[in-house]
Amino acid sequence: MKIFGAGLAGLLAGCHFQRATIYEAGDSDTVNHKAVLRFRTSAVGDSVGIDFRKVRVYKNIWDGKPVAPSIQYANWYSQKVIGKLADRSIWNLDAVDRFIAPDDFIGQLAERCADRIVWNHKVTGEDIAKAKASTEQIISTLPMSLMTRFTGMQHTQEFKSEKITVRRWRIPNADVFQTVYFPSLETSLYRASITGDLLIAEYADEADDYDFFPAFGISASSCEPIEKVSQRFGKIAPIDDVWRKQFIYDLTTTYGIYSLGRFGTWRNLLLDDVLKDIYVLKKLMKGSAYERSKINVA
């Protein structure tokens, strides 16, 4: 069995399919995730034997001062993060319980799969052609846009994604869990969060110098900069859902390739949802062609 991609979805799948070989285009230093990792339940951690911490997360909206949710702010925020008007989490500022993964969560997942990861292996159309002629089962977390090119399947979909930039700091002696939304179109910053002592700011496209620290009642001088990184597929725009599901089905029935994760299934989802999809894939892989035709992962 093969898994294409060693990002979060691929590594989580690798922990559950322990005989699979994982193929990753980059090296071990390129596999990371710098945005906020919060979970609705402890299920992901429980499934791989990694303890998550249950915390209470408090939220706010900032536009030079704390403000209440409004249609204007919701629309600004939506335009900033996905480029169109849609309901987003900015509407709900109620405190919520969440589960926090340890800072080295991705590293721990990679360690569990270390002897089965083939680094610097860029999947090509030739790999996909071989899959069609083989009976070996494959899980792909690669972007659906890439898989359409490899398979040559005709479509009229426009796969849009937006890059995000993430900046991180340490706050000495902090241990709080907070998120502030920044809907103003005057800055590319759309969200900043403190997770314990780690401050993470997320920007649409490139980062700017907007001074967001007062939103948390702190100053930049009290924080220790760590890094700034860009993530190419930070946000993805939806495509036609009927076509999307049909492509996933055709990829499985024609090539024996099962789609997994945000990019593989081209929909915004949490890692909690990826775990559920992994359990569905296990059933699909054990079932008959008829049973597979009745179940759709995405």
How many whole angstroms separate alpha carbon 167 and alpha carbon 165? Answer: 7
What CATH number matches the domain at 1-39+102-157+239-298, 3.10.150.10, 3.40.50.1110, 3.40.1080.10, 3.40.50.720? 3.40.50.720
Report pLDDT for 50.
95
E-strand spans in the chain? 2-4, 21-23, 38-39, 53-62, 66-67, 96-100, 117-118, 138-140, 161-170, 176-181, 189-196, 198-204, 224-236, 257-259
C-alpha distances in Å from residue 128, one per residue of 97, 154, 192, 198, 250: 42, 16, 40, 41, 13
Report pLDDT for 34.
60
Amino acid at 246: Q
**Which residue from 156, 146, 162, 179 is spatially nearest to 264, judged by alpha carbons?**
146
Across-strand partners of 162?
235
How many whole angstroms separate alpha carbon 130 and alpha carbon 269? Answer: 30
Residue range 53-100+161-236 forms a domain whose CATH class is alpha beta
Rounded to 5 degrees, what are φ and ψ at 144? -55, -35
Burial class (CB in 10 A: 0-12, 13-18, 19+), 155: middle
pTM across the whole model = 0.89
One-character DSSP codes across 130-178: HHHT----EEE-S-HHHHHHHHT--------EEEEEEEEEE-TT--EEE
Both tokens assigned to 234: 């930070």
Report pLDDT for 288.
63
Report pLDDT for 32.
64
Looking at the chain, the number of H-run helices and the number of E-run strands are 10, 14
How many whole angstroms separate alpha carbon 149 and alpha carbon 172? Answer: 48
How many whole angstroms separate alpha carbon 270 and alpha carbon 261? Answer: 9
Both tokens assigned to 128: 């996909």
How many whole angstroms separate alpha carbon 22 and alpha carbon 8? Answer: 12
Across-strand partners of 259?
140
Report pLDDT for 54.
96
Residue spans of the domains in the chain: they are 1-39+102-157+239-298, 53-100+161-236
Report pLDDT for 291.
59
Report pLDDT for 238.
85
**Which residue from 159, 238, 162 is spatially nearest to 204, judged by alpha carbons?**
162
Question: Residue-wise pLDDT tens for the chain (298 aa)?
Answer: 999 999 999 999 999 999 999 999 988 776 665 666 789 999 999 999 999 999 999 999 999 999 999 999 999 998 888 788 888 889 999 999 999 998 889 989 999 999 999 999 999 999 999 988 898 999 999 999 999 999 988 888 999 888 899 999 999 999 999 999 999 999 999 999 999 999 999 999 899 999 999 999 999 999 999 999 888 777 788 899 999 999 999 999 999 999 999 999 999 888 999 999 999 999 989 876 655 555 555 6
C-alpha distances in Å from residue 82, one per residue of 2, 21, 52, 86, 247: 32, 34, 29, 8, 23
Burial class (CB in 10 A: 0-12, 13-18, 19+), 49: exposed
